[in-house]
Every structure is written in C-alpha cells, then in structure tokens.
Structure 1
Amino acid sequence: METKKLNLAFVYNVRHKKPCLADEQAVAEAEFDEPVTINGIAHSLRKLGHEVYRIEANEEAYLKLKNLKNKLDLVFNVAEGLQNHDREAQIPAMLENLNIPYVGSKPLTQALCLNKAYTKKVLAYHQITTPRFQMFYNPNEKLSRKMRFPLIVKPVSEGSSKGITNDCLVNNQMELYKKIGELIEKFNQPALVEEFLNGREFTVSLIGNDPVEVLPPVEILFDHLPNNLAPMDSYEVKWIIDNPESQIQTISCPAQLDYKKFLQIKKLCLRTKQALDILDWCRIDVRMDSEGCPHVLEINQIPGIIPDPKENSRFPLAARTAGYTYEEMIHKIIKAACDRHNIPLSPALEPAPEKATNWLVKTFSGQKAFKPI
C-alpha cells in the first residue's frame, strides 16, 4: 500500500484570556487552547510532513470543512466546542455528516463523557469503581442518606476544572446547598455532588485502540499546597498554582507506585475506555479511597497537549516520561485513527517500539511482581 503525507484539517478553539477566577471570560475559555499552543501543534503536524489546514471551531467551521472535504485525509480535532452541554460532540457530528475521518471518539461518546453523571452511570453498570454521587437539578432537593461528608460539588458538564473551586469541597449541609445553588445559577446546568475520596490522585494517558498503550501515570501532589487550599485538583491548583513561575511542585511522573497497584489502575482505565467506547486517545482521572482502591473520577476525551514542557501539560508529560518526543506523541495519536480508517502512514515516522516498555522496566524492574514484557 502506497504511503503519503496527509492532508490534515486541524480544528481547535482558541483562548483569549489567561486563567483568572475573577474574569468570567477567562473561566468560560478554560478548556480552550492559547494561540501559542495552537501554533505549536500546527508546527508539529507540519514537522511530521503533513499539509495542515487550520480551522477554528466556530459557526463557520462546517462550511470550511465541507469546502475541504475532497482534499482531506483526516481531521486532527482538539476542539472543545463553543457552547451548550454536548459541545464536545459538535465537530465530530459535523465530520460524521460530511463522512470525513477524524481523530477521537464518536459524537455519542464525546457527549456522554462530558456529562460526568451519565459517565458514572455507565461505569456503575459495568461495575467500574467511581465515587458515590447524587445529581441536583435545584438546590431544594434532599441529600440522600447514603451520601457521606465531605462532599465535592461540580458542574455536571464542564471540563478543565471549570467551576471546581476550592470552596466546592463542603463539610456540612449549609456549605453544600450554598454551593449547589451557586453552580446551578452560574453554569445553567445541574450540579453533581460526589463523595470526596481522601487518597492519592492520578491521571492516566492512553493512546491507541488495539492494542492500547498506557503511558506513565501522573500523580497530582497536594502536600505542598498553601494551607488554605483543599487537597484536590481544583481550578486554583490546575491553572493558578501550577504555572511555570510557581515554586510549588503539583505533579510527579512517573507516579511512585508499586507494580501491582499500577496494574490495578491500568486495568481500571482499560475497562473504562472499553465501556465508554473511547477511540484513539484520552486521559482518565483516578483517585484512591482510604483503603487504596482506585476510582474513576472523570474522562478527558480531548486532553490538553500544550507543547511547552514548562506548562506541565499532563498528556505530553506522560509521553515525555515514556521517552517520546512531542512529534512522536502526535504521530502515535494520528496513527491510531489512521489504523481504524485504513489510511496509510509512512513507517519512517514510527517511534522505536521499545519506547512503549522501556519506562516500565526502568520504573518497576526492582520489584518482585514485575515481569518484563
């Protein structure tokens, strides 16, 4: 089969404001990428030899994609969508309509995974551990007797820690109902109330379909946070404390785990990917309970991939820890989609196959339970 460079549409949403809790536009755009990130991804796609057509995911995106339909081999989509609760499904639905192959999951999975409650219902059906939860459509509903404080209150259909501020961790009914009311009013959507797990937290990046490669887990560190911040991956921690100028270490990769615990987390993530029909790539947030049992918190269908290592973007950090360059990481994501669609790619672009296992040997080789692959 003849291989060639790809004609790629690169679809994205661009952020116009730096993260800031006091700026409503900045909070609204928390999921979007900054111009420097958009430029960096486009540069890497071109560096891999592809022809790149940049398309911002606004109201003009459909017509631009339609006009390019006969030129395109594949769409590299990192767009979060502009508005409404199923927004991550917008671009995939357009591409399904136009019959253009693309990177990432189908519209149903994209919409499902953005809704934390529906995601948790599917996980519960498949007996995949996730914290006990309750939905609140208005602040007058009664809290279930099964729910135990402390609780965390979240908007049900937001990503990138939007709406999950430090005061979302509540310890009594007064704090709970105050926060529920605030989130329902601000985000115009139900609030998800979840039991807060007091164990360690990780985020796990996955690439591919069959097989799936699990990259080194990233641990979210809370030990050195200011005393006024709760031990959780809040908006304050993710976007304000964790920045290139900060002296506070908020993440570690690879996470310090024994091999059996890593296998437990790996199995949990692979089962989650299969249960939700996730394609090509994702990042899964996991937190342990007091017994050390891992639970799925939520799914990042379109993970952030900021190129600058100083930014601590978690998916690229995991890939770097595994030994991949940024371009190799991008290539592996594209190849996962190309394999599904039978689109040929040059073997010359392939990273050395041993990179998939080198980090495992380096991290776990001293442990009795570890068996080299």
Structure 2
Amino acid sequence: MHIVLAFNLREESAVADDQPPSEPPSLPTEDLYAEWDDIHTIRAVEAALASRHEVTLVNADLEAYARFRALQPDLVFNIAEGLHGASREAQIPAMLDMLGIPYTGSDPVTLGICLDKRRTKEILSCHRIATPRFAVVSTLADIPARLRYPLIVKPTLEGSSKGVTDKALVHDRKALVRQVEWVLTTYGQPALVEEFLPGREFTVAMLGNGDDLQVLPIVEINLHTLPAGVNPIYSFEAKWIWDQEENPLEIFTCPARLDPFLQRNIEELCRKTFRALGCRDWCRIDVRLDAGGLPHVIELNPLPGILPRPEQNSCFPKAARATGLSYEQMILGVVDAASRRLQLTEKGYHENRCLL
C-alpha cells in the first residue's frame, strides 16, 4: 500500500535539541509542543511503515488538505496532534473523512471527546464506568465544596500532562483556589477538579478492534521512585523533567505485578471503556486504584505517545516490547488493525475507492 504518515513536527526553536523545558510551564507557549513528535519518532515510524509499504510524509500544517487530496494514498497513518483549539486532534481525521481517504485510529468525534476530560468523564459516568468524582470550574465562583480532599486540578483540554504540575495535587481550599486560578489564567480554559485516588496507578495499551482487541501487558507507574518530597502523581515534571533519556527514572514495571483478579478487572474495565468511547485500532488508558483497591479510569489517549527508544520510557512501546513485539511490529500492527477494520485487502481497497 501507499501510506501517508501524518504528523506534527515539534519546533526546534520551541524545545532545544528535542528536549522539554527544564522547569514546569508558566505560560501555555512553554509546553505548547509537548504533544507533538520530534524528528526521531517520525523517522522511526516512517522506517517501520517502509519495511512493508511505500511511505510519504505529510506535516499536518495548513497545506495538509491539499497534499492529501493530491496524493490520494491507500491509507494515512495518523499521529498528528493538530494545530489549535479543542478540536485539534480531530482536524486531520475530519479532512480525511471529507476526502474519503481511510486512516488509522479513532474518528474525529472520539478524538475530540477524549481530549476533553469533562466530556470523557460524562460518557464514562453515563456508562457506569468507574471514574473519580469531579467538577468543572470555569470561574473561581464555581469552585466546588462537595468534593473530598485531596483533589487534583487539571486543564480540561490538554494532553501529555500539560498543566498537571507537582502543585496540581491540593489538600485544602486555599491551595485549590490558587491552582484553579493558575489553570484558568495560564491555559484560558476551564479546570477539571477531581477527587484524588490514593492507590496504585497503571497505564494500559490496547491494540485492535472488536473480538481482536488485545490488551497488552499492563504498565505500573511506580510513584515511590519519584524524587523525595514530591507529590505521588505522574506530573509534567515526572514525565518531562525528572525522567530524562540519559538518566531515566526507574518508574515503570511492565508487566505490572498484579493478582489475577485485579488484572482481569483492569482489562475488562479498559475493554468496556474502549468500546464506550468508540476507540479504534489503538489507545492507551490510564487507570488508578481507589482506597479500596478498585480500578477507576482517569483518562484515554487514543493518540498514544510512541517514542521509539527504550530509554525514553514511552509506555505504549514498552507494553508492546513486553508482549514480544518490536517497534516495527507494533506500528505495523496498527496498520493491520486498521486494514482489517476497513477491509483494505488489495481487492477490497480498489472496490471501495471506486465508490468514492
């Protein structure tokens, strides 16, 4: 097949030498590119796809629509995070739907919902999927009194731990007001205030669709390995500052050490969540246990991070390696999942294209 790899390249001027900032963000521009991919990741995905397919690269900028329209590829491998606004992760899939070009991963609706933590949690609650109690705060007057401390404060419309600094965990109203005000001012969007769960934390990589949906080995985040005196959360600092490629934290265990009952509960919770949000082909789901040891969904990542080198501590590739998949096999597994879903055999592909 001819596959286009759609991506957003991290600006070298924004993050020198492809490294994140050395301090937590104080302005939204300082972590603007945290979600985007560096050239090393893009080249690794390109090489994996090129082992079996013809590959063309398209940066998901303002010229992307014209390039897709001209290229008319068999499939787009989508890792583009988008440019601006709450719809940014949905922008490239929406273009491709308009052009009738098939692509890997979830559709614009699912991507838009999963980026919005409020909408995600509303759907989880509707489906009676366990998730921490929460409130959405648009002004300081909206700060809730009914939630139990400690609480964690997050921007509603960000990924890659943007805005979730070590100060996000608060234990009293004064700290809550301060952190909500910081999110409102810094990110210009509502804050999600959520009851903090004190138990173990996991992230769960999923690959496939329907009856072929595979739960890869579960990754545990060992929060006790963080620097002394910091909060037990996988914060912006933990992800981008304290955990460096040349000196990685020993923060992950994969496969997680779980008794069979808890492992089965987490896997079933994630399968139900994947279906409820309409995910396709792949996703990573973050899970945390409450004080009673019951798993709750924290959020979904239908465009999971896929940094290629093991020392980069990227969780989806880590889970794939634990099940015996190389980076190349993982990427091609996403292509295969999408191809089965879309019935993109050579014969099926040409029949489908004739209908466009």
Same-fold call, TM cutoff 0.5:
yes
d(CA) in 2 for partners of 1:222, 1:277: 30
Shift of 1:142: 3.6
Report the Cα offset of residue 144 of structure 1.
3.4
Paired AA for residue 50 in structure 1: H
Question: Which residue number corresponds to residue 165 of structure 2?
Answer: 165
Deviations 1:140-199 (A, max 9, x none): 224132x00000000001000000000010111111011111111111111000000000
- Residues 53-100 of structure 1, C-alpha deviation per residue, up to 9 Å, x if partnerless? 10111111111111112xx11000001111101211000100000010
What code does the residue aligned with 1:141 have?
A: D
Please tell me whether the aligned partners of residues 218 and 254 of structure 2 are also in contact (alpha carbons under 8 angstroms).
Answer: yes
Give, in angstroms, the shift of residue 207 of structure 1.
0.4
Q: Whole-Å Cα distance in 1 between the matches of residues 338 and 84 of structure 2?
A: 26
- Looking at structure 2, the residues matched to 91 and 303 of structure 1 have their Cα atoms a distance apart, in angstroms, of 16
SS at match of 1:291: coil
Whether 1:98 and 2:80 are equivalent positions in the alignment is: no
Q: 1:35 aligns with which of 36, 39, 43?
A: 39
CA–CA separation in structure 2 for the residues paired with 1:137 and 1:273: 28
Give the alignment partner of residue 7 of structure 2, picking from 5, 12, 15: 12
Match of 1:365 in 2: none
Which amino acid counterpart does residue 54 of structure 1 have in structure 2?
Answer: L
Q: Which residue of 2 aligns with 1:244?
A: 245
C-alpha distance in structure 1 between counterparts of 2:86 and 2:264, whole Å: 34
Q: Deviations over 1:21-72 (max 9, x none)?
A: 356544111111111111111111112x211110111111111111112xx1
Q: Deviations over 1:227-279 (max 9, x none)?
A: 23211110001111222222531111000101111000000000001101101
The structure 1 segments of at least 4 consecutive aligned residues displaced by more than 3 Å after TM superposition are 21-26
Q: 1:292 to 1:316 in 2, by over 3 A?
A: same
Residue in structure 1 matched with residue 56 of structure 2 by the alignment: 53
Give the structure 1 partner of residue 69 of structure 2.
66
The normalised TM-score by structure 1 is 0.88
C-alpha contact 2:165 2:237 (8 A) present in aligned 1: yes
3-state SS of paired residue (1:58): coil
Residue 349 of structure 1: aligned partner: none
Q: Which residue of 1 aligns with 2:183?
A: 183
Alignment partner of 1:284: what SS?
Answer: strand
Quote the Cα distance in structure 2 between the aligned partners of 1:26 and 1:8. Answer: 33
State the match for 2:354 in structure 1: none
Measure the CA separation in 2 of the matches of 1:319 and 1:142: 41
Structure 1 residue 325 displacement after superposition: 1.0
Q: What 5-or-longer segments of structure 2 have no aligned partner?
A: 347-356
Q: Superposition pairs for residues 130-209 of structure 1, below 5 Å?
A: 130-145=131-146, 147-209=147-209
8 Å CA contact 2:110–2:278 kept in 1: the answer is yes
Count residues in correspondence: 336
SS at match of 2:46: helix
Counterpart-to-counterpart distance in 2, 1:342 and 1:113: 26
What code does the residue aligned with 1:332 have?
Answer: G
Does residue 48 of structure 2 align to residue 44 of structure 1?
A: yes
Q: Deviations over 1:255-305 (max 9, x none)?
A: 010111100000000000110110100000000011100000000010011
- Give, in whole Å, the separation in 2 of the partners of 1:212 and 1:26: 37
Letter in 2 for 1:56: N
**Counterpart Cα distance in 2 of 1:312 and 1:247:** 7
Matches within 5 A, 1:238-277: 238-246=239-247, 248-277=249-278
* 1:86 corresponds to: 87
Partner residue, 2:114: 113
Residues 128-137 or 60-69, more deviating: 60-69
| TM-score calculated relative to the size of structure 2 | 0.92
Q: How does 1:333-352 map to 2 (within 5 A)?
A: 333-344=334-345
Secondary structure, aligned partner of 1:242: coil
Given that 2:248 and 2:313 are in contact with CA atoms closer than 8 Å, whether structure 1 keeps it comes out as no
Task: State how far apart, in whole Å, the 1-side matches of 2:218 and 2:282 are.
Answer: 15
Distance of 2:184 and 2:68 partners within structure 1: 35
Gapped runs of 5+ residues in structure 1?
1-5, 346-373
Kindly indicate whether the alpha-carbon contact (under 8 Å) linking 2:202 and 2:286 is maintained by their aligned counterparts in 1.
Answer: yes
Q: Distance in 1 between matches of 2:129 and 2:304?
A: 21
Q: Aligned with 1:148: secondary structure?
A: coil
Alpha-carbon distance in structure 2 between the residues aligned to 1:30 and 1:206: 22
Query: Is residue 262 of structure 2 the alignment partner of residue 297 of structure 1?
Result: no
- Please report the RMSD computed on the Cα atoms of aligned residues, expressed in angstroms: 1.2
CA distance in 2, matches of 1:279, 1:262: 22
